[in-house]
């Protein structure tokens, strides 16, 4: 990847970031690392991170990128982290925020931290509930009031913050979920590498939990396999660590039992691993149809769906809020919630019609060009530039193929 100077007059400053971070295995950790890496690659900086640890993670080892740690259930650690942020040379802080990462009702202890930070803060909200409780709404509004800028990952999120939470729309910035900057590819090469060149590959990836609706996708495979015996559905990813702590592997075991009861062992496989990026990308490159049968209609962000759009997959999804935005204008097909027959019908439509499948892929890929990580880094750079002294600015860069 090469980078060149952008023509806009002012350039971004390095920032300090806050979020979960690898080796912790969760979506926010992956996202935070991707934001940091893409920003540093684009602008030649070396960014540090304040990490948020779940209970019991005191012995986790991080690399030198980590400048401070918050322990979710240790309220005093929030003040210590704020002190470290204030002492850090970076002129501003970006928080990759999820309510469940913080202690207190609705993650209210985050406000303890926020009130003590003495430099500009941009908070990236990964959850925006359209029908919040009064408590949740109050916490969210206070976060927005105390922050210098708010980032959401979809226009839908911005509309909800403005309409439901009464946040000034001028303060809200839409910066898409980042996706890999990869060329549009045929599935042939990746399938050969996996030894499945004679199969039509359907996939879903991500940390597994009951809200993913995978049981409906498994039921849908019965009529799909009857019409297309070559179809293979891969469910990629391990059980969410939080789910595993509370209920073990009961959900995954129920999926295995359902597959066996339907006699679909030749058409469905569960890959029980947290996939490194390169392996995940290889699976996506091999995928003909990507499924998100999720059950939550008000979900406003999905990193897995964003990735599938970014690499140009034909997608079948339930119509949760984020999917309705990303897959509009023929960029994907919709199936009804909790409806295996509907999932099967839409998937079969794409398997039956290669022209429809390829046209859907192309529309998704074109939309995804605005979501690539170099573009996201540039957007964060522009935002940071609004809140730091000009003399702190760095040369602005953008990725070019």
Instruction: Give the model confidence (pLDDT) of 204-221 as tens digits.
Output: 999 899 999 999 999 999
Q: What is the pLDDT of residues 343-385, one digit of tens each?
A: 999 999 999 999 999 999 999 999 999 999 999 999 999 999 8
What is the dihedral sign for C-alpha 124, 127, 129, 135? negative
Least confident of 94-98, 366-370, 388-392: 388-392
* Residue 173: φ, ψ to 5°: -115, 130
When pLDDT is cut at 50, 70 and 90, the band that residue 398 belongs to is very low
Query: What pLDDT does 275 receive?
Result: 87
Q: Of 61, 25, 31, 32, which Cα lies nearest the Cα of 47?
A: 32
Query: What pLDDT does 12 receive?
Result: 57
Q: Of 343, 312, 307, which Cα lies nearest the Cα of 322?
A: 307
Query: What pLDDT does 391 receive?
Result: 54
pLDDT beyond 50 at 92 = yes
Q: Is the pTM of this model over 0.85?
A: yes
Reported residue count of the chain is: 401
Q: Of 274, 264, 265, which Cα lies nearest the Cα of 237?
A: 274
| Pairwise CA distance, residues 314 & 224, whole Å | 16
| Pairwise CA distance, residues 253 & 158, whole Å | 38
Query: What pLDDT does 163 receive?
Result: 97
Q: Of 367, 384, 401, 400, which Cα lies nearest the Cα of 6?
A: 400
pLDDT higher at 29 or 10: 29
Q: Mean per-residue pLDDT for 239-264?
A: 92
Query: What pLDDT does 367 receive?
Result: 97
What's the whole-number average pLDDT of the chain? 92
């Amino acid at each position: 990847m090469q980078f060149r100077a952008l023509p806009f007059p002012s350039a971004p400053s390095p920032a300090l970031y806050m979020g979960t971070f690898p080796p912790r295995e969760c979506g926010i950790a992956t996202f935070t690392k991707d934001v940091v890496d893409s920003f540093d690659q684009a602008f030649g900086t070396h960014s540090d991170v304040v990490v948020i640890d779940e209970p019991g993670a005191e012995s986790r080892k991080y690399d030198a990128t980590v400048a401070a740690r918050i322990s979710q259930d240790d309220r005093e650690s929030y003040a210590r982290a704020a002190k470290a942020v204030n002492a850090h040379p970076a002129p501003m802080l970006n928080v990759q925020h999820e309510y469940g990462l913080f202690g207190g009702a609705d993650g209210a202890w985050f406000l303890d931290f926020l009130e003590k930070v003495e430099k500009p803060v941009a908070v990236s909200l990964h959850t925006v509930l359209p029908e919040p409780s009064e408590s949740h709404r109050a916490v969210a509004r206070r976060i927005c009031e105390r922050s210098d800028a708010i980032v959401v990952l979809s226009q839908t999120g911005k509309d909800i913050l403005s309409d439901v939470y009464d946040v000034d729309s001028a303060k809200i910035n839409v910066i898409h979920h980042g996706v890999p900057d990869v060329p549009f590819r045929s599935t042939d090469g990746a399938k050969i590498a996996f030894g499945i060149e004679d199969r039509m590959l359907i996939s879903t990836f991500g940390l597994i939990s009951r809200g993913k609706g995978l049981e409906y996708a498994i039921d849908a495979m019965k009529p799909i396999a009857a019409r297309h015996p070559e179809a293979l559905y891969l469910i990629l990813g391990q059980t969410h660590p939080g789910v595993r702590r509370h209920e073990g592997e009961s959900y995954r075991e129920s999926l295995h039992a359902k597959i066996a009861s339907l006699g679909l062992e030749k058409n469905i496989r569960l890959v029980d691993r947290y996939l490194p990026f390169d392996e995940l990308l290889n699976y996506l490159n091999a995928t003909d149809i990507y499924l998100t049968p999720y059950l939550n209609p008000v979900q406003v962000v999905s990193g897995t769906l964003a990735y599938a759009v970014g690499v140009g997959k034909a997608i079948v999804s339930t119509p949760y809020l984020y999917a309705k935005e990303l897959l509009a204008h023929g960029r994907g097909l919709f199936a009804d919630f909790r409806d295996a027959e509907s999932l099967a019908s839409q998937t079969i439509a794409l398997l039956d019609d290669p022209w429809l499948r390829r046209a859907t892929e192309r529309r998704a890929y074109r939309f995804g060009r605005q979501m690539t990580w170099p573009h996201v880094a540039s957007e964060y750079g522009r935002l940071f530039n609004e809140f730091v002294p000009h003399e702190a600015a760095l040369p602005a860069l953008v990725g070019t193929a």
